[in-house]
Structure formats: structure tokens, C-alpha cells
Structure 1
């Protein structure tokens, strides 16, 4: 055997300290953005049945939630609102006293060091559950942009650090960027849901946010999962329109897209580890089929390896605890 010529790759895998020394991809707490669902009322902490460990919480629970995140070392949250009232134009989305606006003020007053990302969409607020204004059974793109811009400005006025539009209307980044600038919020960045597929992985989120469409689906404005080059076109448009971050959603089934977007565009890339991806692992772990800690960390690391700088994930608290071990 001494005359064989081959490379000994295992030298760098021999011990845990050696493996840690040469590890190429590292996950940090600062990479994590925790989603939170805010509801009206008091003393409300509703478990989301399809998402074990995730709750809808009222404003009076926010301080406890934010204190826990700060203690864990998680520095960023993305806020989703669940309003009591809905109408055809989603007016609670852009109301000064809307649930998201109240939540943003509450968080920034009590926990100013946290970065608050505001999800900017209409679907939770419309009685039809679509992400824009419905006209003759179709989504009116340009008319919807006006209301989405109003929503973004109202969220910035409330104190949001980042605006994250998720509606997938054509021109939504340009419209919101213009609206923010004209309202005096040129310093507020836009974290665009640039690549958002019409995915079956969103089901549990719709339970949590009460945002299922009441007719049809969202395939006319969210992307076909079969398409790759379309993702590049979507991301390119958002870069040209002034996006500061790019989101790829979902994450796990689209790691190839994530890598291509990262290689082509020099902006921070955000992976959205969506609800269905979360719930599948929770269910498998509850049945003893997988080691939850190992599979969560492997999955989040894969997103970082594919090019994500940041990860929106319901596993943020769990991952922060794992990283402390």
C-alpha cells in the first residue's frame, strides 16, 4: 500500500476541533430573523395547531417575547398582523392604528435595539385573502401598488427598520421605494420578496395568519415552481427598482435558485425557511423519526452554504439554543 498515491482528505475531519477549524459555512445567531404573529385583544396566546411551538400573541405578550429573543441573542423579528376586521381593500393594513403599526411602536419603544422588519402585504387584511385589489375576478396590479405603498409608509411611520413587501405585484419595489422617499423615509431599506414561488409549503402559515384566499389561488402572481430563469428576471427587476435585500421563498426546495441569485447580485440574500418546512420537521421529530436538533442545524446550514446571508425561520429560538451548546 505504501506505493499508492492518493490524497488524505480525512486528515481534516479527524477530531471535532479540527472539523470546526476548517468549517467553511458557519451559522450565527445574528443571521436569524424570527417571525411573530400579532393579534388584537389582551391576554391572547393562541397556539398554532399546525406549527408546534408557534403562537399568535396579543400586544401585552410582546415584551415577554422580545425579552426572550434578546436573551437568546436574536436581534431581528419580522412582524405579521392578524386583524379583527377585514374588508375588500385591506384597509387595516395601512391604518395608523393597525395591529402591525401598534406592534412596531410597542417593540421599538420597549426594545429599541431589535431590528423590526414589517411584512408588507394585503392578504391578511382583505376579506378575499388575495394580495391585492380584486377587479372582475382578477388582481388589479397598479391599483394594488397604491395601497401597498400606503401600507409601507404607515409601517415606516410606526418605526419599522425594514420594509419587506411580499405581494409579488409587478413594480412593487419601485412603487414602495418612491413612496418611502417622498414621505421622508429614504433611509428605510426594502427587503424584497424578490423570488416567491406559488408553493404548497405555505399551508401552516395561512393557518397562523388567517390569510387563505377565499377563491382561486395565487398562481397568477406568485411564481411557477418549475421556473428558474424567471427567478433571475424577477430578482433583476427588484435590484433595478431599488431593493436593498433579496428574499428567496421557500428556501429548502429552492437552494439552487438561492445560489444563482447570490452569484448574480451583490445584495444581502435572505432565505425564508417557511412554515411547511418547519412543521414537517416538528412532526417527524415528535414521532421520533428524526433528531430535531441535528436536522434543523443541517437544514439552516444548507441555506447559508447556498448563499443566504440571513434566514427568516420559525426555528430561530431553537437554533439559538443549539448554538449555545
Structure 2
């Protein structure tokens, strides 16, 4: 079913869920009242209220509209194709470009009944759009992964490298420059914004022979980005040392420090360590997001039987809990 078919069918999600036996009239009225209060879409509202499981809702929607229900967790994305749609639009309408289909495109949507979003896709992509239904949480995770700031970091690093090629350039002045438009400041800002977007727990800055490695630990796995502008490493390290209150003249001994920054409405406590290495100084930063506080046990993702057993263990007066990998 394409956009015009959806428009002609005039399907309403509430009626669809009642016809599928997933909601009753009382639950629908309750959901509509809650939707009016929160401003959220009806689909998210019925899921948040616990009336319908998200997978069952999306399956019913895909069957009624005769469109695909795609699990994004293991989907192989074409990054260049995804980025044909601006990030702001993708996040606003909760959509992602998935693949080509003939002369058109398949677009994953958390709400394929959003005709305004479909019209915008047609206008911006300048081709016909075939909607597919996807889980909203998986879609948002995919957007975070695919719309990263690495290309912007490369551009700023190239600009900074150009400034550093002048032999008379005062590197100390660059590190201490408080101008928010200075390349080193913009590069660090972009680096931290990318780390927060990816929910990284650590950032590693490692100078090598002719290259600079920037690694982020995301869900326990190091993700590496390599820059050819190796000379920017010293400027980054110097700026970070100033922010942490460390001795910028000491490059032969390890140092530890900390500082706080605010990125995208997140308050981040940064614990920083420097270490002299063969090609300069490496930096490791641990990012502690103070905005979200401590995650509750219920939000930890444990299966219900395991969570119940874990709570029982916590009531014991002594013992040891080991958290290990596979």
C-alpha cells in the first residue's frame, strides 16, 4: 500500500486496534484522554499505558496497511542513502530511509499513518516513497548511529591542521584561547556532542605516527575514528589540560584531572587521565552523565525471573555479586 492508498483508506489507529481485538472502547477513550494531556501520538500512548504490546501493535498496523514490518536491529543500512534525508527532518517525523525500490525509496516510519510526514518525504526526496513500519526505539538508535559528527570533526581538524602548519604559531595561545569559534574549541565541542549522542562512556585520544586515533567506548565496545591531521593532537591535549587544571608544561609524567561540561542539555562530569606515549600524550576521559541520575533496577533490562532473583539476593546480609561477560 502506497501513500495514496493510505490516504484513500482513511484508516484510524484507534478503529484499527479495536477491529483487531487489541483494544476495547473504554481503553481507547482512556488513551485518547491521555493523548490529549501529553500530546504524544496514540500509538505511543496505548503502549505506554500497557494496553497493547508494541510488537503486536506494529504487526497489526503492517497487516492492515499491507506494508512491511522491519526489525532495524540487524538491518544493513546504506549510510549515504540514509543521509539523503536531513537529520532534523528524520528526527522530527521519526523516519529513516532504508533502501531503494525501483525508482522510489522505502522509508521506515514509527507512524506510517502520518500523511503529513509522507508528503514531506516526497517533497524532500523528490521521488515516490513506500512506507514501512519500524519500532521507534530501534529507529532512534539507528539515527544516532548514522547521523554522527565524524565528518564535521574531520573538517574542523583539517582547519586546525592548517593553522598549525605555520612554524611561528604559538601553540600555547591556541590551547588557552577562550574564543568559542577557535578550531580547537569547535573540534572538542563536536567531539563531546558526538559522544553524548552515541551514549559513549569513554573517549580515548591516541596520537600515532602520522595519524590521530579517537576512540569512543559505546556499549562496552571501542569505536575508532582515524584522522590524518596528527598535529592537532597536541592542541587538543593542551586545551583539555587547561580545562582540567593540569600542568600544561609537564609532558613526561601521567596526570589526572576532572572538569564539568554541559552538552545538549546533559551535565557531564569528565574524569581525565593523560599518559606520555611514543608520539605525544594520550588522553582517556570517562564521561559520567549527571542528568539522568542512577538507573533503577527495573530499567536495567533484566528478564523478570532474573530481576526477582536478584532482588532476593540483595536482601541477604552478606555475599558477592559478579557481573561478567560471555
Range of TM-score over shorter length: under 0.3
TM-score (norm 1): 0.25
- Bigger relative contact order (CA 8 A; separation at least 6): 1
Larger radius of gyration: 2
